[in-house]
A and B are shown apart, each in its own frame.
Chain A
Amino acid sequence: MTRLLLKRPTLVAAAAVVAAALVIATPWFVAEGDMRLMIEIFAVFAFAQGWNFLAGYVGIMSFGQQLFIGLGAYCLFLASNWTGLNPFLILPLAFVFSAGFAAMISPFIFRLRDAYLAISIWVIAEIVRSFISQRDWLGSVSGLPLVATREMARSVVATSTFYYAGALALISVFGLYYLSISRLGLALAAVRDNEETASAIGINVWWTRFFGFVLGSGFTGLAGAVYYMSVFHVEPGGAFDPNWMVIMLFIVIIGGVGTIEGPIIGTAIYFLFRAWFAGTGNLYLMMLGAAAVLVMLISPSGIWGIVKSKLGIDLLGARRASGLEASSKKTRTAS
């Protein structure tokens, strides 16, 4: 058992290489239409994983992550349209801008806790949405097109976007894994579980939370930019839509908060649900909500939580819920 544990980071690295190879090979085997769906799946998975990182690893619950989806998309669209630069090259700007915005608001919103913190981010999202809706130079209600991609070949645009989306998905799984076994990941887990103890062992609680929030929100912004790059058009009503939050919550809750594997299952279930019930409109949103309520009543740790406790499988065992597990992980990273 110990030997298996010692080997796990190596196994995960091997899995990461295989997954990356699969992503790289995909455009040769998959039709453009299917690739578009895969971009959407990857982007939504990245949104969900970004929220999961905040809620399950940093311990910050937010009901306003659509704020960063919109900010990332608008940042990319505006920067590309104004300067005429290739959007694929300036994509990191979306991360920098969203992360910077998160850094700017955190001193104020961190004064609130739990649901109040969650809703204050939502309030900020509403402010930004109404601000953009009323400004003509930001495209007002009807939004903005992405000009630069019009002149590019369609297959190049599709393949490049697909690679970015694939990279997001890979980071959401393997990046999160390596982050969670790093020093920062341990500090985040300590702060999430018990702030007093964390600060007693020398962790700066405020800065750790700040860093986690900025990182997670920047990532969501990046994913938002990639998502809207694949649809070529962004408008405030869609980009800052609270329904993004509903989807993220559903995926993470159903799969299991604070696990890496859970949101993978959640994303699969979400897209199956959508394919089956897309025609039913509100009924399908109702089912997402009802499923979230049921999971909270039956098993708050989600489907992956049930699998883990019933079958004892722990693929990317990055969750440090109990003290025992945490100490075994710590020796592992030290060795």
Chain B
Amino acid sequence: MDITDETLMAFADGELAEPEASELAQRIAADPDLAARVAMFRQTRDMFAKMPADPVPDALADRIRAMAEPPALSNVVPMRRRVPLWQLPAAAAVALAVGLGAGLSLVPSGGTDLAVLDSLPSGEARDGVTAVATFRIASGDLCREFEAGGMISVACRTDDGWQTRLAVATGGEGYAPVSGVEALDAWLAGVEAGDPLDPEAEASVLR
């Protein structure tokens, strides 16, 4: 009937499962020696709880903060590329804000009819698609950034119609490998996306 120190410690730490914990609690209540033992284990835990750690050397903290900065790639894309996103209607902007923590995924357009991109001016919505911007990439392809079905996407025009090249989910939560906007920026830098076309230039390439 000996109770080991490890069992008493687990009890003191709240790590003992039921029904053992309840049974042990009764025995401890009736045995001052056991109670003192448990108190000792509690004390040797509580005295260290929240013990502050010494700060790290400044040089080390600075090196690690530098790692946390976005990669140099992000600097390739001027921030003005993002401006059209913020000119979206308020509801879309909120959806994007939610999406800042969302991950990147490469998915088909999920049933959205992209033909609407042929004629929908940026800033307008139709058939569940909100056009955001129009631009050309290094290959010369005409591409459009748009929002549909909870995704911010980029599609480019091909002989077979609009093909989705990138989609960033605007839902979800928690830690993402890279924020949606960063992923978009990284992709845009990779394809050397040009500046968004102004409304007149856009109208001339849309049908």
Q: Do A and B make up one complex?
A: no
